Structure 1
Amino acid sequence: MWSTSDEFDPQRAEVMARGCARPIKTASGVWVRCGSRIKSRCESCAELYRGDWAAIARSGIFDGPVESHRFYLLTLTAPSFGRVHRVPRDEGAKASRCGCGVVHRAKDGGLRGVPLDGATYDYAGQVAWNRDAGVLWDRTRRRLRDRWESVEFFIVREWQERGVLHMHVLLRLERAGAPDADTIRDGARSAVAFSKIDGAVVEWGEQADCQAFTADGNGAKTIWYLSKALNYVLKDVVPDGERAHPMVWAHQAALARAARAMRCSRECVPGDCRKAIHARFGSRSHVVSASRRTPHRPGWSFTGLTRSVQRRLRAEWVARQSEASAPASSAVASPALVAPVLERLADRTRRESRLNAAAAP
């Protein structure tokens, strides 16, 4: 059980001083980081989460025999659910006339992804696709492994402005028999699944891309790109209120209504169900995942690195520090040492951020 308190506590103040915006108190009375993955709630804890996953992503590329593998970055998108405003991302980018009849500029970025006609936009279809995207990815994964048994995955699920998920996937295959990037793209995009809720067909959109890269070439830039995508997925789906166009809020409200009216399972009673999927525009997936090691597969990380392993290593570090600092007459470790180890990890992720920035184009 967890509880929070507004009463001053030196240990709580210490945890906050090291970056956590909303420490929580365990049932044993120890203040620890909140562990939030959303930057607007706690930037420090979200950065720890991003750093853990970035380390796992790098492990699957740089910690093994890279010369015997080929690497790819695959991007898969959702289908269209209606026409949306087209707004360039950069002020100097060439802009074409939007379907609304206006040539938008980058300053109109708050309109990006907003439907041209909310009355005809398929909100129910979009939240249902978010709900069933996991089934579609599972079918895609199976299709790829049926053709190339050695393939391993690292997946980042990112929100588009229209409020639908798309996927960035790092792929690693043994070099012998590895195909070209277009073959992988076409094989993945052609996968089709059926919803476990209503039997509807679930498929990818027309836009898909796959690029091959090498660990000793543009591997660092690819990891930087994924790290940047991780930063995006740790943000709130709801846009910044100061920048958002009024039409954005109408779009968000319509998505929220559609998600509440959607069935999340065969037993779901819309309106009465309190599962988090109804508050996330239909999404039920973790934003990041990777293929795991099994008795028959190496998994994504060459070294078997997972977030569970990282948590265990941090706990072991705390135990060693406790033993070193405890009085000879005491065998009890101080719970206040939890905060310093998390701060040490924050320092590591800040260093990694600087390295990623240096690798950026």
Structure 2
Amino acid sequence: MTRPATPPVAELGQLASLGTLPALARQLSGLGGCARPVRLDGYRTEHRVDLATGEVGPVLHHLDSTTLPAGRLLVACKNRRATRCTACAETYRRDTYHLITAGLRGGKGTSEHVATHPRVFATFTAPGFGPVHNRPTDSRGEVRPCRCGLLHHQEDDVLGTPLDPDTYDYEAAVLWNAHAGALWRRFSIYLRREVAKRAGLTQRAFRDHARLSFAKVAEYQKRGAVHFHAVMRLDGPDGGSTAPPAWATPELLADAIRAASAVVSVDGPVIDGRAYSFAFGRQLDVRTIRGADFDGGAELTERAVAAYIAKYATKGAETATGTLDRPLRLLAELGHLRISDHARRMIRTAWTLGARPELEELRLRVWAHMLGFRGHFSTKSRRYSTTLGALRDARAEWRRTEAQTALGIDRHDETTLVLSHWVFAGTGLTPGEAWLVASLAPALGTEGEPTP
């Protein structure tokens, strides 16, 4: 969080005169740098419980929001979007990094044997919806002029926008995003079939020999179409703790991925006589996680893959296409927003399609700011590794233990009854609080584990 150039002298002076400035700074440091915390009114009371009689004993600890330096309990917003809260997005990125890394080399409750299992990194792209401004390269990797005749620089705002917006298939682009999640689910089914076929097994028998695990993240291309990056791993029948069969190799897995992605499709709606069907684009990149052929010569190591996927876990459509990072309430809002014309047309198309009764289940108006995409940005199979929830719980438990130790409280042998009641009282920080948050280092255990 960036500190405001001019400190709010009046508010800070009042806090200093009341003697609450140090205590407020301690409370704010527990937010981990969050710029948009949730403010809550209420209380929390802990009672000791007698295990022999079940009788509720005296109060062990009582917290009332009115006694806190900020006058309310402040809870980090935990928004994954970097455009909404940089600090919470960084925590989310770190957690995603460790989740992906655990599935590649073990740790966090995942067996270290996964490091020896066949693993590949795959990128699945969207199909084309019309020519767009781009930076094509020749066989030597040198950038050539775009179809428009210009040689665009990497940060050119027109990259990814249609050469001819009037002929670009905006309807298909929005519907592709809306069906991308369903296409991935069907692909995962097809992939298991293809792996089983190459192993000479039936689908039913495959379950007794191996298990396919994955973790993926969705990324928006500049044209506003979603594509997926995925780590895919072959394990033994019980997951990462069991060795895969001898026939399980990275080459077999990569070949099965190519075969499954080439044939999988999902049917879309029929609109004005046009029947939609969606499949992945022709560009498919599958690489074994072991070589030195990733990202222009850098090694395709566990660390590189985890960092690459985690980077996109905090980005949404707004980062790539210049669209919104929050839902629309009314279409009229578009006229007052500073977004690209391409994003505006994608949103308008999603909003228009959302009015059709036959597309009600797609909830396109709710997801118009996401250009129709309604899936989770990062997902994984159950046995891939730990969960984001488990990482958050471990961090919360660590902070709780540290706080109890600091207060000299030992509750290992106690059973407690917790009574609490909290009411939403708003979001954000006062100018003085914001200035302090930007000045403070986050308290230990609030910002997620560091990454290498």
2:379 to 278, 286, 289: 289
1:18–1:177 CA distance, 2 compared to 1 (3 A): same
Partner Cα distance (2:364, 2:194) in 1: 40
The equivalent residue for 1:3 is none
Deviation at 1:237, TM superposition (A): 4.5
Kept in 2, the 8 Å contact 1:60–1:300? The answer is yes
**1:249-268 paired onto structure 2 within 5 Å:** 249-263=340-354
1:193–1:95 CA distance, 2 compared to 1 (3 A): same
- Residue 71 (str. 1) matches residue 132 (str. 2): no
Percent identity over the alignment is 28
The equivalent residue for 1:226 is 309
**1:14-25 paired onto structure 2 within 5 Å:** 14-15=28-29, 18-25=32-39
Partner Cα distance (1:328, 1:312) in 2: 20
The 3-state SS of whatever aligns with 2:319 is coil
The equivalent residue for 1:359 is none
**AA aligned opposite 1:52:** D
Kept in 1, the 8 Å contact 2:266–2:277? The answer is yes
Partner Cα distance (1:83, 1:189) in 2: 22
The 3-state SS of whatever aligns with 1:38 is coil
Kept in 1, the 8 Å contact 2:367–2:374? The answer is yes
1:321 to 385, 396, 402: 402
- Residue 344 (str. 1) matches residue 444 (str. 2): yes
The equivalent residue for 2:75 is 32
Q: Deviations 1:13-39 (Å, cap 9, x if unpaired)?
A: 714874111111134341011111111
- Residue 177 (str. 1) matches residue 229 (str. 2): no
- Residue 46 (str. 1) matches residue 89 (str. 2): yes
**1:21-170 paired onto structure 2 within 5 Å:** 21-28=35-42, 29-63=72-106, 64-66=112-114, 68-87=116-135, 94-106=142-154, 109-148=156-195, 149=206, 150-170=211-231
Kept in 1, the 8 Å contact 2:99–2:387? The answer is yes
Partner Cα distance (1:93, 1:71) in 2: 27
The 3-state SS of whatever aligns with 1:276 is coil
Deviation at 1:94, TM superposition (A): 2.3
Tell me: higher relative CO, structure 1 or 2? Use CA pairs within 8 A at least 6 residues apart.
2
Deviation at 1:68, TM superposition (A): 4.7
Partner Cα distance (1:110, 1:15) in 2: 38
Partner Cα distance (1:51, 1:234) in 2: 20
1:151–1:328 CA distance, 2 compared to 1 (3 A): closer
The equivalent residue for 1:308 is 389
1:248–1:161 CA distance, 2 compared to 1 (3 A): farther
Kept in 1, the 8 Å contact 2:160–2:223? The answer is yes
Name the TM-score, length of structure 1 as normaliser.
0.77
Kept in 2, the 8 Å contact 1:111–1:248? The answer is no
Name the TM-score, length of structure 2 as normaliser.
0.62
1:18–1:173 CA distance, 2 compared to 1 (3 A): closer
The 3-state SS of whatever aligns with 1:65 is helix
Partner Cα distance (2:26, 2:38) in 1: 8
Deviation at 1:97, TM superposition (A): 2.6
Deviation at 1:41, TM superposition (A): 1.6
Partner Cα distance (2:403, 2:446) in 1: 20
More strand by share: 2
How many residues of Structure 1 are paired with residues of Structure 2 in the alignment? 324
**AA aligned opposite 1:111:** V
Kept in 1, the 8 Å contact 2:35–2:87? The answer is yes
Kept in 1, the 8 Å contact 2:126–2:226? The answer is yes
